[in-house]
Structure 1
């Protein structure tokens, strides 16, 4: 019986430690989304006017947070779980999630928002 208890404790510890290696991060891919198209959408709507975004040629501003390493982040805006659906909503209409945020609503289709999210998730290695 003590061996079984030790195995359970060991398994729980392995799960907890395994979850600490990364800061959480989002999915590595979003079904039906195109990261390349997401980068083009980011350039078109001018996200770089507020954010530093690796791989995007645009005036890199620091009004909003840098998006370097976004794919490794556990939270969006320090508050919301970094999931594909939440990120797509945040990209389209951040004030709906967080009234008073400095991030404006962006006129994007749902597909464009998913493409942008897919691109942001590629930024874990940059």
Structure 2
């Protein structure tokens, strides 16, 4: 095997092995986000695919969340903005009906990570 091919193969293997822990960490964060959506009873108001007991009809369904353009009809739908929305909705949209549930910044980021997996 030529030296350049061996070097390229070695580089590819190293890159793949470095990505594995990050992927596992991302999976863990997504699973934690789903569990937190249950814990904070988000499904009381929202229907959320994959979250047990979440059949709420008071607020919109969160199905296919990742494909939406806006949060609350006015904020750009990005993971960082969604996490801030989950943590303190009235700070972004005064007068919103979305309640502050007491989620920490880390918890809100995990919940946002789960919601961005929804197709």
TM bucket (normalised to shorter chain) is 0.7 to 0.9
Tell me which structure has the larger Cα radius of gyration: 2
Matches within 5 A, 1:11-26: none
Question: TM-score scaled by structure 1?
Answer: 0.71
Paired residue for 2:29?
34
Count of aligned pairs: 95
Paired residue for 1:120?
115
* Distance in 2 separating the partners of 1:88 and 1:75: 13
CA deviation map 1:65-122 (0-9, x unaligned): 1000001111111110011111001011111111111101121111100000000000
Matches within 5 A, 1:62-81: 62-81=57-76
Determine if the alignment matches structure 1 residue 86 to structure 2 residue 69.
no
- Superposed CA RMSD in Å reads 1.8
Question: 2:38–2:52: 8 Å Cα contact kept in structure 1?
Answer: yes
Q: 1:50 aligns with which of 45, 52, 62?
A: 45
* Distance in 2 separating the partners of 1:102 and 1:45: 16
Q: What SS does the corresponding residue of 2:53 show, helix, strand or coil?
A: coil
Structure 2 unaligned regions, length at least 5: 1-22
Structure 1 unaligned regions, length at least 5: 1-28
* Distance in 1 separating the partners of 2:101 and 2:78: 19
Which ranges of 4 or more aligned residues in structure 1 deviate by more than 2 Å? none
Question: TM-score scaled by structure 2?
Answer: 0.75
| CA shift for structure 1 position 59 | 4.5
Paired residue for 2:95?
100
| CA shift for structure 1 position 61 | 1.1
* Distance in 2 separating the partners of 1:78 and 1:68: 16
